[in-house]
Amino acid sequence: MAKITTSTLLKMKQQGEKISTITAYDASFAKLFDQAGIHAILIGDSLGMVLQGQDDTLPVSIDHMVYHTQCVKRGVENTLIISDMPFMSYANLEQALTNAAKLMQAGASMVKMEGGAWLVDTIKALVERGIPVCAHLGLTPQSVNVFGGFKVQGREEAKAQQMIIDAQALEAAGAQLLVLECIPAPLGKAISEAITIPTIGIGAGKDTNGQILVMHDALGISCSYMPKFSRNFLQETGDIKKSIELYISEVSQGNFPGEDHIFK
Ligand code: KIV
C-alpha cells in the first residue's frame, strides 16, 4: 500500500471510494491497523476515556497527546496520522499554533479541532503555516457540558442548517477533512454533498465519505458501554487483525454502518 496523504483521501471521495479510519494510541495497535490497510489513524482525545478511565475528554493535556502521537508514529508505515488538539489547547491563535506544532513534530500529518465557524481564522493560520486541519462538527465531546450530555446534535432544522453553513465555512478556511459525530443520517448526507472535502462519520449515517470508530468500541473492549453507532468486529472474527480487515471491507462495501447503527 502506498503512503496515504490528504490528496489520497480527496481522490477517494471524488471516485466514490469509502475511507476507513480508526483511533489508536500506541505503536502495536497502530502497526496492526496500518498492516490491515486502514486509511487513517486518529490519536483521539478519547484516550482520556478509553485509556485513562475519565468520564469525558476534558482532562486530556497536550503532553498526553504528544506522547501517544509519538507512540503511534513508531508503528505506522503508510497510514495518515491525525492527532487531536485537546480541550482548550486552541482557545486562541497563539495556543493553537504552538500546540499544533508540537503534534506535528511528534509525528502527526494533520491535527483535528472541534468547532464551527469560530475556528475559521485559526484554520487559515495553521494551513498557511503548513499544518493540515481536520475539522469536527456535531457531537463535539469537548463541549459535552454545553450540550448537557453526550446527545445527538442537529435534530432541529435551524441547527442542521447552521451545521451545513459551518461545514462550508470550515472548508473555505482550508480544512481538508471533516469528522461528523452523532448527527441524523440525512444531515450526514446533506453535509457530505454540500462540501468537496471528505467527511468521516461516527454515528452520522452511511452516506458520509468514510467512517471512524474508537478502536475499543470496534473491538468491544470499552470499559463503559457499546455505543449504538458501533459494532463488535472482534466478536465476529475472534482475531484483532481480521476484525479491522472486516471493518474496512464492510465500510468499503457500504454494509457498515447498518440501519441499527444510525440516528434518524
Ligand atoms: O477522540 C476521538 O476519538 C474522536 C473520534 C470519536 C472522532 O474524536
Distances (CA, A) of 46 to 68, 127, 235: 12, 24, 22
- Give CA 100 to chain center in angstroms: 16
Q: What is the CA radius of gyration of the chain?
A: 17
Contact 210, 199 (CB under 8 A): yes
Counting from 1 in the atom list of ligand 1, the atom nearest the Cα of 46 is 1
Q: Decide: 84 in ligand 1 pocket, CB within 6 A.
A: yes
- Burial of 32: CB neighbours in 10 Å, binned 0-12, 13-18, 19+: middle
Rounded CA-CA distance 84/153 in Å is: 20
Q: Decide: 142 in ligand 1 pocket, CB within 6 A.
A: no
Ligand 1 centroid–CA 213 distance in Å is 8
SS3 135: strand
Q: What's residue 225's pLDDT?
A: 76
pLDDT in tens, the chain (264 residues): 799 999 999 999 999 999 999 999 999 999 999 999 999 999 999 999 999 999 999 999 999 999 999 999 999 999 999 999 999 999 999 999 999 999 999 999 999 999 999 999 999 999 999 999 999 999 999 999 999 999 999 999 999 999 999 999 999 999 999 999 999 999 999 999 999 999 999 999 999 999 999 999 999 998 667 899 999 999 999 999 999 999 999 999 999 999 999 999
For atom 8 of ligand 1, the residue with the nearest CA is 44
Q: What's residue 222's pLDDT?
A: 82
Active site residue 181: yes
Distances (CA, A) of 166 to 21, 32, 143, 170: 23, 35, 16, 6
Ligand 1 centroid–CA 194 distance in Å is 23
Distances (CA, A) of 55 to 34, 199, 204, 215, 262: 29, 27, 23, 17, 24
Q: What's residue 226's pLDDT?
A: 85
| Catalytic residue of the set 181, 193, 245, 250 | 181
Ligand 1 centroid–CA 83 distance in Å is 10
SS3 219: coil
Quick check: pTM over 0.85? yes
Distances (CA, A) of 154 to 1, 34, 140, 207: 37, 33, 12, 16
Q: What's residue 52's pLDDT?
A: 96
Q: What's residue 224's pLDDT?
A: 62
Q: What's residue 223's pLDDT?
A: 65
